[in-house]
Amino acid sequence: MTQKLLAPDLTKQALESRKLILEMITKAGSGHPGGSLSAIDILTTLFFNEMNLDPKNPTWSERDRFILSKGHGVPALYATQAYRGYYDPKATLTLRELGSVFQGHPDRVRLPAVEASTGSLGQGLSVAIGIALAARLDKKSYRTYCLIGDGETQEGQIWEAALCAGNYKLSNLCVFLDANKFQIDGSTKDVMDIEPIGDKFKAFKWNVLEIDGHNIEAILGALKKARDEKEKPTMIVAHTIKGKGVSFMEGDNQWHGKSPTEEQLKKALEELKGAH
């Protein structure tokens, strides 16, 4: 792994990824900017500081694994992996084009750097658990990371998986909950309230941490605590803002699955440029 980025540089990198996310979704004319922008600080910290990986050898057997369970947030993954060296960032601007490897949800068959084809909500955590169990059985030291959405936690499969991970004491598993408080149909509170979400995972024998999901230092601190935990899987409840970084998108659920216009893109990029 190359030298790890420290917090100030992670913040700058996340800013660049935000720009690329908006550019690719605007060019595609469709996509999910809100949940991609809410998760990008987490993904940036994982790929540029936490995870042991080799972009030149994406299937390296000793790599740490990352599963994007909320597959519609894949622009964040593409941007992160592109800047990390897996692909040319300009190539991601073919997002959602017919024949492009950069589809609207992660495609493991087309992209070896993607650990699992996801998008059917609720399934990614189960995949991550299988990988974590495989590491234990194979006596491997790699860790498995997973990102789930808060609307996604309404799926029953999430809770079957949570029960399994707690039962098997999968301390090599670390999961982030991107708690941006919205899903496609509205606020999670109005659709199907998931609170108190931390207490639920604690009851399922997880090590639960709650942080500001846009505070890089908080993300780094939580990841260290997760590594230090030797008896339980870790759930990091990351409180985030949907559309984070763009004033007219923040907390506005119309940006769950809506592409910016060229004019809106220009305005958003100007804001992000001013954030340096």
Percent of all residues in the chain with a pLDDT value above 70, rounded to a whole number: 99
pLDDT for res 276: 64
Radius of gyration of the chain (CA): 17
Residue type, 255: W
CA distance 52 to 86: 14
Q: In the predicted model, what is the mean pLDDT of residues 10-26?
A: 98
What is the residue-averaged pLDDT of the chain?
A: 97
Residue type, 47: F
Degrees, nearest 5: CA angle 213-248-269? 85
The answer, yes or no, to whether residue 29 has pLDDT greater than 80, is yes
203-243 pLDDT, tens per residue? 999 999 999 999 999 999 999 999 999 999 999 999 999 99
pLDDT for res 275: 78
Q: In the predicted model, what is the mean pLDDT of residues 13-32?
A: 98
**What long-range pairs does 259-262 form, CB within 8 A, spacing at least 24?**
259/25, 259/26, 259/28, 259/29, 259/30, 259/31, 259/33, 260/22, 260/25, 260/26, 260/33, 261/26, 262/26
Degrees, nearest 5: CA angle 151-132-196? 30
Residue type, 16: E
- Measured in residues, the chain has a length of 276
Q: In the predicted model, what is the mean pLDDT of residues 50-67?
A: 97
Instruction: Give the pLDDT band (50/70/90) at residue 1.
Output: low
Q: Domains of the chain by range and CATH?
A: 7-274 (3.40.50.970)
pTM above 0.95, yes or no: yes
C-alpha distances (whole Å) from 127 to each of 69, 213, 276 are 9, 23, 37
Instruction: Give the pLDDT band (50/70/90) at residue 274.
Output: confident
Residue for token pair 């997973």? 146
Segments in the chain forming alpha helices (H): 7-28, 33-45, 74-84, 124-137, 156-167, 188-192, 197-203, 216-228, 262-274
91-126 pLDDT, tens per residue? 999 999 999 999 999 999 999 999 999 999 999 999
Q: In the predicted model, what is the mean pLDDT of residues 56-65?
A: 97
Q: List all residues 6 or more positions away from 25 whose beta carbon is below 8 Å from its beta carbon.
A: 31, 32, 33, 36, 75, 95, 259, 260
The answer, yes or no, to whether residue 2 has pLDDT greater than 80, is no
